[in-house]
Amino acid sequence: MPKHAFSHVDTWVFDLDNTLYPPSARLFDQIEVRMTRWVMDTLGVDHARANYLRKHYWHTYGTTLAGLMREHSVDPAPYLHDVHDISFDVLTPDPVLADRIRALPGRRIIYTNGTAPYAERVAAARGLDGLFDAIYGVEHAQFLPKPERAAFEHVFTTDKLDATKAVMFEDDARNLAAPHAMGMGTVHVAPEPQTGDHIHFHTDDLSAFLGRITG
Ligand SMILES: [Mg+2]
């Protein structure tokens, strides 16, 4: 990982779930359980059908919510409040990661397909609160999800960031395609690498990767 690849960067954009905490925490499992329950209750379908729809909408539209909005005109606010009502006990503070994020030169922001209040709670549970200049959720993208380019455009316009001087860290490789097309650097943060021109770097250890940039 050539350090100079990031020397032009003045804005560091982080996804939240499974990026700023490891997938081994399985925090998102709790959200998936609540999404499935919500689909069962709201659409009146059984567990198997609800589980199928949750995954089908994620694959087709980028998030389950996006599918529910497109196909069932679901009101996003109560849904988002309900599915994020989970326990954060599985998360532990990561002071080394905090130090490395703090050492990044420039603006540091979170952009999640969840909500900003949820991201605040996750960041606090990881000991990362106070490190970010801004936190954006799906509510800042007119409830359009990543990977849609329009969602990124809403958030990045609001933030006034220069995409050619920004880098995106994200576990879902789909969500790096639009940033790459907009001229951003991209880092895929996941246990397994994937191939694609839109993936500039891969790491299975965000903290170690940032340590090589800032060290
Ligand atoms: Mg994620």
Tens digits of residue pLDDT in 117-140? 999 999 999 999 999 999 999 999
- The pLDDT confidence band at residue 104, using thresholds 50, 70 and 90, is very high
Which residues lie closer than 8 Å to 74 by C-beta, 6 or more apart?
42, 65, 68
Average pLDDT rounded to a whole number, residues 8-36: 96
**The predicted structure's pLDDT at residue 4:** 81
Asked if pLDDT for residue 82 goes beyond 90, the answer is yes
- Cα 5 to ligand 1 centre (Å): 23
- Cα 190 to ligand 1 centre (Å): 9
CA distance 78 to 179: 29
The amino acid present at 103, given as its one-letter code, is: A
- The pLDDT confidence band at residue 1, using thresholds 50, 70 and 90, is low
Average pLDDT rounded to a whole number, residues 197-205: 97
- Cα 154 to ligand 1 centre (Å): 18
**The predicted structure's pLDDT at residue 147:** 96
Average pLDDT rounded to a whole number, residues 141-145: 95
- The pLDDT confidence band at residue 2, using thresholds 50, 70 and 90, is low
Share of the chain above pLDDT 70, in %: 99
Residues within 5 Å of ion ligand 1, judged at the Cβ atom: 15, 17-18, 171
- Cα 105 to ligand 1 centre (Å): 23
Share of the chain above pLDDT 90, in %: 97
Tens digits of residue pLDDT in 185-198? 999 999 999 999 99
Residue indicated by tokens 């993936």: 199
Select from 63, 59, 41 the least CA-distant residue to 50: 41
- Cα 188 to ligand 1 centre (Å): 10
Select from 197, 146, 149 the least CA-distant residue to 171: 146
Can you give the residue ranges of every domain in the chain? Answer: 3-21+93-214, 27-83
* Cβ atoms 127, 151 nearer than 8 A: no
- Cα 91 to ligand 1 centre (Å): 15
Q: Is the dihedral of CA 171, 174, 175, 180 positive or negative?
A: positive
Q: Please name the CATH architecture into which domain 3-21+93-214 falls.
A: 3-Layer(aba) Sandwich (3.40)
- Cα 68 to ligand 1 centre (Å): 19
- The pLDDT confidence band at residue 110, using thresholds 50, 70 and 90, is very high
- Cα 204 to ligand 1 centre (Å): 13
Which residues lie closer than 8 Å to 51 by C-beta, 6 or more apart?
36
- Cα 132 to ligand 1 centre (Å): 17
The answer to whether domain 27-83 has CATH 3.90.950.20 is no
